[in-house]
Amino acid sequence: MHAPKSPALQRHLGSAMASPLELIYEDHGAPHDEAWSAVLDAFGRVEDACSRFRDQSALATYLAAEGPSTAPAVLVEVLAAAYEAYRVTGGRFDPRVRSVLEAFGYDQNFAQMVEPDLQVAPLPIVEPWEDPVLDRELCLLRPARASLDLGGIGKGAALELARFQLRHEPMAGICAAGGDIVVVGDRPPVIPWSIGIEDPIPNSTDFVATIGISEGASMTSSVRVRQWRSGGRPVHHLIDPRTGQPGGGNLASVTVVGPDPVLAEVWSKALFLEGPRHLEEAEARGLAVVSVDREGLVTWSSTMEPLLTWVRHQ
């Protein structure tokens, strides 16, 4: 019996939410320009709602309100997802780390950031975060008492919205935003999509592993791009709210594969912040995880093993 032949692929390229954006799909002779427009619309809507770098975003308007306020449904849904993530991760996922990021100098788009000269004392977050959503149906929000960074979970929400908008599209494809990927379309691929796990060493173009997926999402938290120096010491953007410092110990990246891009994004970050015991927790929760430490060692959970198709020689 012959193995199925991999079809030719078509690709749309762009950028959104400070990441390269791609729609890749099997070429069966039908154009999918409308699908690409739907992807751009999904990311545009989430970025307009959730960006901390846009003065006119719905997030900025919400944070500036002195009392209860209404907001676009997109922002309300992302805030609701963020609070649920805060709850289920025991506070490891906390968008209030924005104040720490800004203290370290990450107060504008990363490409424009100026590294500060002064060191920042630890700024742990000790106050509980109240549920920001007062009424989901009315899109009514509680007054914010802290600044919020919804970048990571916002990207997961944008991928989920793109998948939803393409759910009836007669295609087998993936939508990729940087290292984060969701399978889209109403049919499975001829063969599983081969997803490369990037080497988290900055400027490396190599992969450390590949996985094969036909559904769901693959989301990665990594220090590959967003690391810099603050007060002369190296820092990165994955802040542990319990310490107010960059977390993860010796980890450099954590990738989670799961059915929901928002949840996969949340757990990639929470497990990264768990550091040396992340695989123990992944096993307990049945999560498909592959991680890379700063020496380049690749490890994975038992749930991930059936998806692995290649691992760099250790």
pLDDT of residue 3: 57
Token representation of residue 222: 């990594």
pLDDT of residue 28: 79
pLDDT of residue 31: 76
What is the C-alpha separation between 56 and 74, in angstroms, rounded?
15
Closest CA to 298 of 314, 274, 283, 282: 314
pLDDT of residue 113: 84
Q: Which residues of the chain have pLDDT under 50?
A: none
Contacts of 51-60 spanning 24+ positions with Cβ under 8 A: 51/17, 51/151, 51/154, 52/98, 52/147, 52/148, 52/149, 52/150, 52/151, 53/108, 53/109, 59/148, 59/150
pTM: 0.95
Closest CA to 176 of 206, 201, 155, 202: 155
The CATH number of 9-311 is which of 1.20.1300.10, 3.40.640.10, 3.40.50.1370, 3.10.520.10? Answer: 3.10.520.10
What is the C-alpha separation between 247 and 269, in angstroms, rounded?
10
